Structure 1
């Protein structure tokens, strides 16, 4: 028995298509999705349409990530202060390209789950952790070890860090398939994982799949994102090209620059001046 595990697609439908081609070629008919389906890359509706077809053709388990929670709160009128040409511009762009049925699906999802397949050991699902979709679980970290000691199962899947790994602590396994759309540690490629039930245990195979990065770049250039979230677009493209997660570093640097000069700053309203300074300093502006 084999199960594909995908997380953090972030609207990169080219990467998702590469994963789907691999799944079809391998004859896998079960897929686990760990959230963060859209945002960061253009044309989120293409990704949502693909997910709809996948859910019709495969046995799937889906949970929501922190990005889905952002969109749910925004739809409910939460005062998040999203504006274009700030670090929240890509979220606003994505939200305006979602349909009501997309938001209803997000709302229907839990932020955690459990996979029970006959003859195998249960697998717990989370995007970040079981209590917070934004919590980062890394190998050997104190919070990771604490969580693994407490979970009522031998296996847990998580995403959010965009870093592919398998980690064991006191007989418990934490598996992160990495990010499909914006992975750390591989260039111009997608990360996913395959779980195989063999000899009474789940074994993880990390998979790296190249795709046509040039087409993704062309889609960015032709999309409204270039006008509405240009600096974020540059961060994401460079991140995918280099396998490095530049965006949070750039946001932090822009925030620090704004706070240093203005005496105070709002994470959601970092003026473009400081975004430009941070991006130039990091060599991210094309």
Structure 2
């Protein structure tokens, strides 16, 4: 059995198309999605339509990411601070393009699950960790080792960090397929994983392929996302161009600048002028038409 593991597509249907072309040529039988299928890029509906086509063509298994959780919570009125800004403008932009059926599908996804196959080792599926979709699992981390030791199967699949790697702890294996949509590492590339069962266990292949970044950039520059989410989509574009996770760097710099001015930060909302200064200091491009 050959399985593709997709994670963190983040509305990048262009990169997803490249991955679909690859798996169609490599006789994949199943696809596992580890969540964060949408947000950050300006084409959520194109991305969701691709995923629904894959649901028809393949046996697919989904777990929910933190982004799907954000949209469920917003729909349920648990978040009311989304405004057009560098902080949450991208989330609001995406939410306004979602349909009720999209949210309903997100609700049907589990946060984590174990899947079993006859005659093969089972797999533990999470977005972040078994405890939280927002928890980061890094190679060698104490929390990583604890979760691996506790799980009832030998292999865990986890995304969220956007960094592609495998990590073994004793007899347990963690596989992070990386991100299809905003991969950290090789610029202008999409990352995912392929698993194939051999008689002695799962064989893991980490796949990195290029995608048409210029095509995606045109979607960004012609969309209202650039205006509504201000610096965030520019950080996303620069992350794709460089392979560096620019968004968190810019957010941290903006936070530090605001705290240095003794600005009270409520619910993570940083005044936009500090995002402006942070973007200038770390060299985020404006990416205007």
Cα distance between partner residues in 2 of 1:149 and 1:249? 32
1:146 alignment counterpart: 146
Shift of 1:266: 2.6
Cα distance between partner residues in 1 of 2:95 and 2:263? 32
Contact 2:4–2:31, Cα closer than 8 Å, also in 1: yes
- Aligned pairs, number: 286
Shift of 1:267: 4.6
1:205 alignment counterpart: 205
Residue 237 of structure 2 aligns to a residue whose secondary structure is helix
Shift of 1:27: 1.4
Shift of 1:186: 1.4
Shift of 1:44: 0.6
Cα distance between partner residues in 2 of 1:121 and 1:147? 17
1:247 alignment counterpart: 247
Tell me, which stretches of 5 or more residues in structure 2 are unaligned?
Answer: none
Shift of 1:29: 2.1
1:221 alignment counterpart: 221
Deviations along 1:93-135, one digit per CA (max 9) or x if unpaired, are 0000111100000011111012212221000100000011111
| Within-5 A mapping of 1:96-245 | 96-245=96-245
2:45 alignment counterpart: 45
Moved over 4 A (4+): none
Provide TM-score, normalisation by structure 1.
0.98
Shift of 1:80: 4.1
Contact 1:83–1:269, Cα closer than 8 Å, also in 2: no
Contact 1:81–1:268, Cα closer than 8 Å, also in 2: no
Contact 2:231–2:279, Cα closer than 8 Å, also in 1: yes
Residue 10 of structure 1 aligns to a residue whose secondary structure is coil
Cα distance between partner residues in 2 of 1:79 and 1:217? 30
1:4 alignment counterpart: 4
Residue 149 of structure 1 aligns to a residue whose secondary structure is helix
Shift of 1:239: 0.4
Cα distance between partner residues in 1 of 2:60 and 2:155? 18
Shift of 1:259: 2.2
- Which moved further from structure 2: 251-260 or 54-63? 251-260
Residue 116 of structure 1 aligns to a residue whose secondary structure is strand
Deviations along 1:218-270, one digit per CA (max 9) or x if unpaired, are 11001110110121011000001111111111111112212222431135421
Cα distance between partner residues in 2 of 1:180 and 1:233? 16
Deviations along 1:147-194, one digit per CA (max 9) or x if unpaired, are 111111111100001111111101001100000000111110100000
